[in-house]
Amino acid sequence: MFKGAITALITPFRNGKLDAAALRKLVAFQIRNGIHGIVACGTTGEASTLSFEEHEKVIQIVLDAVKGKVRVIAGTGSNSTKEAVILTRYARKAGADAALIVTPYYNKPTQKGLIDHYKAIAEEVDIPIILYNVPGRTGVNMTADTVARLAEIKNIVGLKEASGNFAQICEILRSTPEDFCLLSGDDALYFPMLALGADGVISVTSNVAPREMVDLYEACVAGDIARARELHFRLWPLMQVLFIETSPIPVKTAVAMMGMVQEELRMPLCAMSEANRKTLAKVLAGLKMV
């Protein structure tokens, strides 16, 4: 079971190349602040513009830097089932605790196509698999019925859910086994989903505020809903501003403002507008993060 605050880690670059030293520092910052897990090569990690070699290198560096202190989930999704199998095989060989596999993007498979895709990967690679549903990015929504059917497969253990559809979220919670983990894929819905019975979050915000995101989870688990609500609303401006432009542009800019990475994105992502940069800086200053 995967629970708690799990960071969808950014991938730092320097002069167009992977910045391994900065990546190790980011991992150390996360562990120092009590994070429950790390996702390497997710959407926030700009996985779609990493080469296969870079993708594997990021996973390996994160695993080496973590040294078993927290769980590492490797993003291994692709709109090609064959490529997803290759990446997932590497994640297992490298020692990742699970693979996070996004629904295929652009080609818009049917629900049967989604089932066939995930079933093929699960049969090829014996590693815990976390499904990832983010229709706003991929153009396809994985329905609650599809999730329930995939949850019957032994090594499909959870779902990162970012549809924003509360009816669908409730149906997933109702129709999947108790040991199937549901993780929020939307920071703004982290607290509400915990209240419904979700197990945690795979978070963009925890790149900037890992301790606070951990504290929110632990307050909920302890039954201190007032404290969890307080943390939710304290973090609310940050959760909003980190999506003021296409993610991960704002979060990478924020981490750069905090002095941990170079402010370098990979095209076609580009630098934030000056107006949005000022808004971001104001929120970070208000939270005493810069």
From the candidates 90, 118, 132, 190, give the one annotated as an active-site residue: 132
Asked whether residue 288 is assigned to any structural domain, the reply reads no
CATH of the domain at 87: 3.20.20.70
Average pLDDT value over all residues in the chain: 97
The pLDDT of 265-285, averaged and rounded, is 97
Let me know: does 81 contact 117? Beta carbons within 8 Å.
yes
At 1 the pLDDT is 76
Mark whether 119 is an active-site residue.
Answer: no
Q: Is the pLDDT of residue 207 over 90?
A: yes
Asked whether residue 275 is assigned to any structural domain, the reply reads no
**pTM score above 0.85:** yes
What is the amino acid identity at position 45?
G
The pLDDT of 50-75, averaged and rounded, is 97
In 3D, which of 13, 17, 68, 18 has the Cα closest to residue 38?
A: 68
pLDDT tens by residue, 36-62 = 999 999 999 999 999 999 999 999 999
At 290 the pLDDT is 85
Asked whether residue 250 is assigned to any structural domain, the reply reads no
Asked whether residue 252 is assigned to any structural domain, the reply reads no
CA pair distance 209, 151, nearest whole angstrom: 32
At 191 the pLDDT is 98
From the candidates 90, 160, 190, 252, give the one annotated as an active-site residue: 160
Asked whether residue 99 is assigned to any structural domain, the reply reads yes
Residue span of the structural domain in which 71 resides: 4-224
Asked whether residue 239 is assigned to any structural domain, the reply reads no
Asked whether residue 8 is assigned to any structural domain, the reply reads yes
pLDDT tens by residue, 160-197 = 999 999 999 999 999 999 999 999 999 999 999 999 99
Mark whether 160 is an active-site residue.
Answer: yes
Let me know: does 214 contact 4? Beta carbons within 8 Å.
yes
Domain count along the chain? 1
pLDDT-based confidence at residue 279 (cuts at 50, 70, 90): very high
Q: Is the pLDDT of residue 156 over 80?
A: yes
Asked whether residue 126 is assigned to any structural domain, the reply reads yes
